[in-house]
């Protein structure tokens, strides 16, 4: 998430009321998650397991809960609760704006786009030309939709990420300040849910077609011309390359990378990143190998019955 105006290390520390290490005038351009953070941005870390990864990431400011040596060319923000303070920054630089009507005045809707009754379109939404938005669709704040997109009833774009920190009193949500971006010529079936990014974009690529009741988690990037069938669930921070076919009731765990042209057969559970191929089963295996195993097992069972 980029700031509208570049901040200094001193300004951020003052906002959070915490100590810092480094040049007070060090420039900060935004904040981001560790897997996509870029130079000039803040990343937070609150667990020893990830200290080294954060300190050696592209982030040039690290919001951390431990006094550590500051890497050359970087700065530190020392917090007793980086998760809390990261949320504070998101809320400050990207505050939630409540809508006062079904279609916000700030929304931009392109020529030839049809919006059916009972659609909600939030603040800062941009919709391209010749789209068809069916009844009861919800498009939350700051979502971006390209040209020639069709969205069927009851689909929700831009829900918060399913991302929580466990505390003694319960689960504390990480505030989502990112967007959903739907590129040109995408179809979204009925009752789909596409979560916004935590700090970046959840993206559905050009020409991709998604069936009914599909869930796409935060910060996931789906490529061009993919086909995704009903009741599929894709967890956050996953990258699915172009022309991937995913059949019904597939589950994909978070943080994976699936190569271009891969096919996932129905009811496959994907537990690791995949090279191009055809896969089936839970955990996933190469389709023909899995079918040979099933046939062998069936033959063994039949032998025992005799």
Q: CA triplet 145, 148, 149: central angle to 5 degrees?
A: 50
- Which of 198, 197, 234, 195 minimizes the C-alpha distance to 214? 234
Q: Are 154 and 118 in contact (CB under 8 A)?
A: no
Answer yes or no: 218 catalytic: yes
> Which pair of tokens denotes residue 47?
């667990």
Angle at 262 between CA 261 and CA 263, to 5 degrees: 120
Question: What are the phi and psi torsion angles at 138 (to 5°)?
Answer: -115, 120
Choose, from 134, 215, 218, 257, the residue flagged as catalytic: 218
| Tokens 């129905």, located at residue | 266
- Containing 159, the helix (H) or strand (E) segment is strand 156-159
Q: Which helix (H) or strand (E) holds 4?
A: strand 2-8
- Token duo for residue 175: 């505030």
Distance from C-alpha of 113 to C-alpha of 103, rounded to nearest angstrom: 14
**Catalytic amino acids?**
218
């Amino acid at each position: 998430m980029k700031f509208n105006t570049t901040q200094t290390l001193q300004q951020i520390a003052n906002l959070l009321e915490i100590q810092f290490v480094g040049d007070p005038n060090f420039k900060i351009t935004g904040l981001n998650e560790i897997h996509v953070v870029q130079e000039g941005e803040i990343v937070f870390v609150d667990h020893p397991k990830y200290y080294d990864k954060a300190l050696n990431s592209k982030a040039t400011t690290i919001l951390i809960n431990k006094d550590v040596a500051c890497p050359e060319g970087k700065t530190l923000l020392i917090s007793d609760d980086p998760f809390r303070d990261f949320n504070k920054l998101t809320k400050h630089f990207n505050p939630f704006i409540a809508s006062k009507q079904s279609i916000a005045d700030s929304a931009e809707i392109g020529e030839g786009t049809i919006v059916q009754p009972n659609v909600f379109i939030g603040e800062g939404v941009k919709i391209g030309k010749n789209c068809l938005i069916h009844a009861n669709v919800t498009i939350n704040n700051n979502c971006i939709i390209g040209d020639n997109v069709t969205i069927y009833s009851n689909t929700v774009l831009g829900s918060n990420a399913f991302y929580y920190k466990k505390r003694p009193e319960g689960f504390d949500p990480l505030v989502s300040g990112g967007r959903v971006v739907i590129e040109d010529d995408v179809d979204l079936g009925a009752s789909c849910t596409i979560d916004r990014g935590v700090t970046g974009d959840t993206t559905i690529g050009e020409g991709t077609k998604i069936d009914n009741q599909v869930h796409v988690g935060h910060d996931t990037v789906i490529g061009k011309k993919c086909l995704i069938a009903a009741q599929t669930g894709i967890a956050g921070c996953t990258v699915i390359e172009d022309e991937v076919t995913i059949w019904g009731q597939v589950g994909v765990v978070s943080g994976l990378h699936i190569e271009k042209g891969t096919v996932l057969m129905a009811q496959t559970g994907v537990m690791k990143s995949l090279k191009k191929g055809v896969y089936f089963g839970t955990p996933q295996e190469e389709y023909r190998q899995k079918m040979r195993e099933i046939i062998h097992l069936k033959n063994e069972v039949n032998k025992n019955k005799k």
